[in-house]
Amino acid sequence: MKFLVFAMFDVAKTAEVVQAADKVWASPPPGVKRLANYVCQGITFPGVLLLNTLVSVSIIEADTNEALAATTYPVVLAGASVWNVPVLELPVAAGVAEVEKKYRG
């Protein structure tokens, strides 16, 4: 299953969070693959996050919750707040309406 992973942290915690993330992704646990990673350089969520908050957005594929937690937990201990949001892939071309109808019931 694919997840959008939002990691938010104060600029003062950057060194600790990056060090934890580097350690996790240098040898990722079995069943997890990071497909993409982005760092936002603007105000991501106006009025919601405090100033000087960095936001990292990753797209991760994980086989189990335990595998996903193994990548998230060290970063949380380093000072980041993390949201793991499951995403459902839909076909880009024709067929989106049928998929949406199927899952709606």
pLDDT by position in tens, the chain (length 105): 999 999 999 989 999 999 999 999 999 999 999 999 998 877 777 777 677 888 999 999 999 999 999 999 999 999 999 999 999 877 666 677 777 788 787
Give kind and range of the element (H or E) at residue 97. Answer: helix 96-104
User: What pLDDT score was predicted for residue 49?
Assistant: 67
User: What are the sequence ranges of the domains in the chain?
Assistant: 2-104
Report yes or no: 71 and 60 within 8 Å, Cβ to Cβ: yes
Report yes or no: 70 and 5 within 8 Å, Cβ to Cβ: no
The DSSP 8-state label assigned to residue 38 in this structure reads E
- CA angle, corner 86, sides to 55 and 4, nearest 5? 25
User: What pLDDT score was predicted for residue 94?
Assistant: 63
CATH value of 2-104 in 1.10.3720.10, 3.30.559.10, 3.30.70.120, 3.90.220.20:
3.30.70.120
Q: How much is the pTM? A: 0.79
